[in-house]
Chain A
């Protein structure tokens, strides 16, 4: 079945959703960036809209808020992640649910910071909320939890920030300092000009907060937000630390954990050939299952087309 989708946010992810939606058989009826919107109930011309965004920096001539009230079955929230009240992403989702439409998020803010509010809105709506793309890009982490059943997974650990992992694995392999590798990562487009969100552990922590909430199931005792997580970054790790680790057959990775003890993200010593010691920008998540030992899922945790596939898989689940 073909669904009509509205895409809010035209960064790398939103753009890829607009680009790939026709391949998945869906029509894009509205697109909005921060300053403009393109709306057509019969389906917008996606190529023309993306062209215009490149040329003029705007997707259309309508006001951005008009996209929220346009005709659509599913709203895609792909604006940048914000902390605290998670606005404006949260209000976008709220607007869709109030109209009994579905909402699919790539934005971690509303899911990590206001999970309880989000679940309440969903319960009051005919619409459904999905957010596979908020955790681990293309890797089907949340759908695996849904398949297994949250109660069947006792803990999860892993590497869910490609930038930090790239920096640490390059430092370890080449014996280079943090600043040197970070500059290289920025040249390659692996790290942002302002890398704080990644290297301070915030991004990974948001993902493990989301995992903790999802694993809590419907009768969860506690709703987590970023404030509940113990977070340490990788900024202060010298090359000498990685060298000492290597001499002992180990390495250091920015590991996140969502366990019965809570949410924790920080640099940890792991065996050099451990499953969690992935290299480069690769992500991995490990589930500790109740009856089936450990389960690992690994793949690309970021990127426009990668994250868009998770969004469009979520849309497919709504059909």
Chain B
């Protein structure tokens, strides 16, 4: 058991988060409306060690290209996920979106600092007007107490390939308001 090995090796046995366990990933596919297409799209997942959790097969609902959208939930360790997506693409399966920010489209970041007093709605307006990103989700945590700083989690939707540009603008805006940005680590440089 890898988990036991990690625990036994920890010098300090305080509880901490993190680890390297399996996690759930969502993959969106487009299938041609032909018999057997679904099965051949699912095979690379099983062949590469992914545990298929659910399939949402939207028959009758066609994408603009006339294909059938399918959403698949897969459980696997993070490093396997990339291999599965690659295998799907090698099989000629059209992968629309995999995971969260790895293939663009959705970016999550944190803003830290005096968020409320620096006019949060103005900050968000600046981000939306200076980048081609749109805000799709916002969570705010304004703590009272010794460390007065509050935090906001932003989910931005943007086009693939524009993430660097979006981050550069967000950093500029945050700089002007003396806020810190915690960016996601985009591990795969496409």
A→B interface (CB under 8 Å)? 155, 157, 166, 169-170, 172-174, 177-179, 188, 190, 232, 236-241, 243-252, 255, 259, 266-282, 286, 288, 293-294, 296, 300
Distance between Cα atoms of A178 and B180 in the complex (Å): 16
- Chain B nearest Cβ from A113, distance in angstroms: 27
Distance between Cα atoms of A282 and B108 in the complex (Å): 26
Are B18 and A244 in contact (CB-based, < 8 A)? Answer: no
B→A interface (CB under 8 Å)? 10-12, 14-23, 78-79, 82-83, 108-110, 112-113, 139, 141-143, 145-147, 149-153, 180, 182-185, 187, 189
Distance between Cα atoms of A310 and B82 in the complex (Å): 33
Residue in B11, B16, B184 whose beta carbon sits within 8 Å of that of A270 in the complex: B184
The closest CB in chain A to the CB of B142 belongs to A240
Distance between Cα atoms of A237 and B151 in the complex (Å): 9
- Chain A nearest Cβ from B49, distance in angstroms: 14
Distance between Cα atoms of A268 and B10 in the complex (Å): 23
Are A177 and B147 in contact (CB-based, < 8 A)? Answer: yes
Across-interface contacts of B18 in A (CB, < 8 A): 169, 172, 251, 272-274, 277-279
Distance between Cα atoms of A249 and B189 in the complex (Å): 22
The closest CB in chain A to the CB of B185 belongs to A268
Q: A246-B17, A270-B184, A273-B23 are in contact. Are A238 and B143 (CB under 8 A)?
A: yes
Are B17 and A243 in contact (CB-based, < 8 A)? Answer: no
- Chain B nearest Cβ from A296, distance in angstroms: 8
**New A-B pairs, 16, CB < 8 Å, besides A170-B14, A236-B113, A270-B185:** A236-B180, A238-B149, A240-B150, A243-B141, A246-B17, A247-B139, A259-B189, A269-B183, A270-B184, A272-B17, A275-B78, A279-B17, A280-B12, A293-B83, A296-B79, A300-B11
Are B187 and A172 in contact (CB-based, < 8 A)? Answer: no
Across-interface contacts of B183 in A (CB, < 8 A): 266, 268-269
- Chain A nearest Cβ from B51, distance in angstroms: 14
Q: A238-B112, A238-B150, A240-B142 are in contact. Are A269 and B15 (CB under 8 A)?
A: no
Across-interface contacts of A237 in B (CB, < 8 A): 112, 180, 182
Give the 6 A-B residue pairs with the shortest CB-CB distance, closest first. Answer: A279-B16, A277-B18, A169-B16, A240-B141, A241-B151, A244-B153
Distance between Cα atoms of A178 and B110 in the complex (Å): 17
